[in-house]
Copies of this chain bind each other. A is one copy, B any other.
Amino acid sequence: MVNYPHNLVRKPLPKVKQEKKHINFANRGMSFEAAINRTNEYYLSHQIAVIHKKPTPVQIVKVDYPKRSRAKIVEAYFRQASTTDYSGVYKGHYIDFEAKETHQKTAMPMKNFHAHQVEHMDQVLKQNGICFALLYFSSLKETYFLPARALIDFYQIDKGTKSMPLHYIRKNGIEIKENAYPQVPYLDIIDYHFLNGSKNL
Contacts and interface: CB of A to CB of B under 8 A. Distances in A.
Contacts of A96: 89
Copies in the complex: 2
Nearest to A4: B60
Contacts of A87: 87-88
A42 interface: no
A46 to B, nearest CB: 11
Given A93-B94, A129-B92, A58 B83 contact: no
Interface in A41-84: 44, 47, 49-50, 52, 54-65, 70-79, 82-83
Interface residues of A, number: 56
A75 B8 CA distance: 11
Given A9-B60, A9-B63, A56-B55, A78 B89 contact: no
A21 interface: no
Given A61-B5, A87-B87, A47 B123 contact: yes
